[in-house]
């Protein structure tokens, strides 16, 4: 299913090393692609936003104030591109891969152990049967140190649950997060 458009772009094997720059050679990356019973997706370099406290405001999921999220720059060094998630903060990124979930599959998105060992907690996010788009990903830095989150490398694992086609898919009920672009999608209540 993944090779036929459920995941795009699709990597049929687990990638642990890539050649990012011809002068440097093959370099290790945080793995992405097909894994045991799942698929590791990458963080897009398109956008990453960090929650900032604005005195006098309260984050309200029913009337989300976009000013509570501050864009953060994409950093570059010799071979890597990354965002910095400050200590004790919370940020939103977006998946590089686009999903088109069939009506008999539900996807659960969980964190990768490489980041968990650095204090990065990924919120468990579902992609329901019939959902399509780029997942908005949620990260919390529970450590007392700023942490890099690498773009274009593995960041979360997708686990697929297959069953009978659901009676009413996310698409059929016109879910509010359908067809998310490769940008952070804010909380909304419709």
Q: Are 111 and 84 in contact (CB under 8 A)?
A: no
Helix (H) or strand (E) holding 113: helix 113-116
Q: Are strands 69-71 and 75-76 parallel, antiparallel or unpaired?
A: unpaired
In the set 11, 47, 100, 138, the catalytic residue is 138
Helix, strand, or coil here: 91? strand
138 belongs to the catalytic site: yes
Helix, strand, or coil here: 7? strand
What are residue 66's phi and psi, to 5 degrees? -60, -15
Q: DSSP secondary-structure letter at 66? A: G
- Which residues are the active-site residues? 138
């Amino acid at each position: 299913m993944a090779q036929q458009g459920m995941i795009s772009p699709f990597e049929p094997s687990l990638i642990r090393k890539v050649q990012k720059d011809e002068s440097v050679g093959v370099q290790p990356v945080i793995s992405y692609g097909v894994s045991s019973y799942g698929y590791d997706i990458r963080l897009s370099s398109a956008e990453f936003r960090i929650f900032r406290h604005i005195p006098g405001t309260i984050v309200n999921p029913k009337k989300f104030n976009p000013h509570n999220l501050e864009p953060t720059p994409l950093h570059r060094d010799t071979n890597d591109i990354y965002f910095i998630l400050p200590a004790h903060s919370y940020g939103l990124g977006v998946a590089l891969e686009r999903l088109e979930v069939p009506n008999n599959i539900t996807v659960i998105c969980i964190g990768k152990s490489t980041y968990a060992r650095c204090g990065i907690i990924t919120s468990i996010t579902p992609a329901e049967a019939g959902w399509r788009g780029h997942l908005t990903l949620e990260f919390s830095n529970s450590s007392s140190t700023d942490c890099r989150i690498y773009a274009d490398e593995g960041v979360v694992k997708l686990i697929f649950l297959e069953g009978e086609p659901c009676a009413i898919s996310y698409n059929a009920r016109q879910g509010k997060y359908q067809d998310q672009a490769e940008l952070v999608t804010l909380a909304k209540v419709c």
